[in-house]
Structures are given as structure tokens and as C-alpha cells.
Amino acid sequence: MFDIGVNLTSSQFAKDYADVVVRAREAGVNGMLLTGTNQHESEQALRMARELTNCWSTAGVHPHDSHCWDDRVAEAIYALASQPEVVAIGECGLDFNRNYSTPQAQEAAFSAQLAMAARLSMPVFLHCRDAHSRFMTLLEPWLDKLPGAVVHCFTGTREEMQQCIDRGLYIGITGWVCDERRGLELRELLPFIPAERLMIETDAPWLLPRDIRPKPASRRNEPALLRHILERVAYWRGETPDALESITDANVRAFFGISF
């Protein structure tokens, strides 16, 4: 199994991130993508990827941090993205749900990172929440210039999902789908995602699957819980966990150009 979304730079993991990785390995997670969401965390994710076996990282600026985007940050992200352990630009995109940065700042940072990814011939690790129409409008002109794009933690509608698939995007599924309150619509969409476009992730320490028992004492999510997500997704898709693991691992290898 490969977890394409681990926020190992989170302060929740500051004291025990090495133990978190050990537990993940023991649970059958053979590799992880460590997410960068701003310059500092992208630098930190790269250091961790160099330290840990079968870990890679992204470099980018999350829509929440888009107000920090400037020429200096752009140069730093470009330098990070040129390192071999960094295999995607992101997490970048649009989030009009919270608007921690203005829509204008988000769009400027997103467009700049798409241009950077195209220049570097790197895939993009994308974030979209309550912004699908504008997100696709900005992304569309770059799709034929990018080697790949994955919508991390997809939570949209069936129409939005189909549009992403029609445009060649990959879909990342998290433990959101295990939430009986807000994950039911996404659960119904799972059978319609082509297997060759699907990836799985925890988004740890966030999005602890609500149906997991017993719940961890820390109440945080960990990559060690990826197996639970894999098994639930496989069940709702009518597949075996082994079959889903095989295809999603193959997707990761092809998309990011890595071996694990």
C-alpha cells in the first residue's frame, strides 16, 4: 500500500514521526508521499523524505497559505522541486470554503504553480473545495502540458468527479468516505471511478475514519490506518482489497515515477 497524502510535518507528529512511520510499515504501508503546504513545510517534508525509506515529498503552497506567495517563495519552491525526492508540485489549488487567503491570492498562487509544474514537467498534487468551476477553468489550459494531476482528498459531486476523470485527472480517496454523516455521497461514487485513476490516502493526522474501532487514544489519524480505508473502499467498489491494493500501487508508480 502507498499513502499519497501524509502531513508528517504537522505539529501533531513532531514528537514521534519516526514511530508513526514504523507503525505504518508494520501495517503494510510500503511508501508515503509527504505533503508540503508552504515553503517551510515543503522544506521540512524534503528533509523527512531524505531521512526515511520509501518516502517522497511534494513542494508547494496550499490555498490557505496563498497570501504568502511571492517571488521569493516561488524561487524556493522551484529549488525544492528540483530535488529528486520531490515528485510533485503541491499541495496547490483553490479552497473557497474557508477563504483563509482571498480568492484572488489563491488563483494567483495556483496558476503560478501550474506554470512551474509544466516548466519542470512534474505532476501536480491538487486541492479543491467548494471551487470546482473556477478550479477547472484555471487548470484546463495546463493539462496538456503536465505529466499528470491528482485531486487529493476528493469530496465533490458525481458531475464534478466525471469532469475530472474526463480531463484525465486521478482521484485521491481518504477516510472521508468512512464518515456516515458527510461521506455517503462520495461512497456512492466509488464504483464509478476507473480503477486506473484511483489512489488512496489518509491525509493524516486529519480525517480519522469515523467508523474505525477502537478509536486511537490520540484521536489523530495515522498512515498505519490506510489498510482500513483500503478495505472499506474495496468493499464499496465490490473488489477485493488485494486487487485494489495492486492497482492503486501501480497507479502511484506510474504517476509519480517511483519504485517501492
- Binding residues for a divalent metal cation, as ranges, are 91, 127, 152, 203
Residues 146, 153, 98, CA angle at the centre, nearest 5°? 100
Cα–Cα distance measured from residue 200 to residue 172, given in angstroms and rounded to the nearest whole number? 5
Q: Cβ atoms within 10 A of the Cβ of 208, count?
A: 21
The strand pairing partners of 31, in sequence order, are: 2
Q: Contact at 8 Å (CB) between 93 and 153?
A: no
Q: In what order do the strands lie in the sheet with 170-173?
A: 2-6, 31-34, 55-59, 86-95, 124-129, 149-151, 170-173, 198-200
Burial class of residue 6 in the structure, from the number of CB atoms within 10 Å of its CB (0-12 exposed, 13-18 middle, 19+ buried): buried
Cα–Cα distance measured from residue 111 to residue 163, given in angstroms and rounded to the nearest whole number? 20
Q: Cβ atoms within 10 A of the Cβ of 162, count?
A: 14
Cell numbers for 48, please give them. Answer: 523527512
* Dihedral pair phi/psi, residue 74, rounded to 5°: -60, -45
Cα–Cα distance measured from residue 221 to residue 74, given in angstroms and rounded to the nearest whole number? 31
- List residues forming the annotated binding site: 91, 127, 152, 203
Residues with Cβ within 8 Å of residue 91, at least 6 apart in sequence: 35, 36, 37, 58, 60, 62, 125, 126, 127, 152
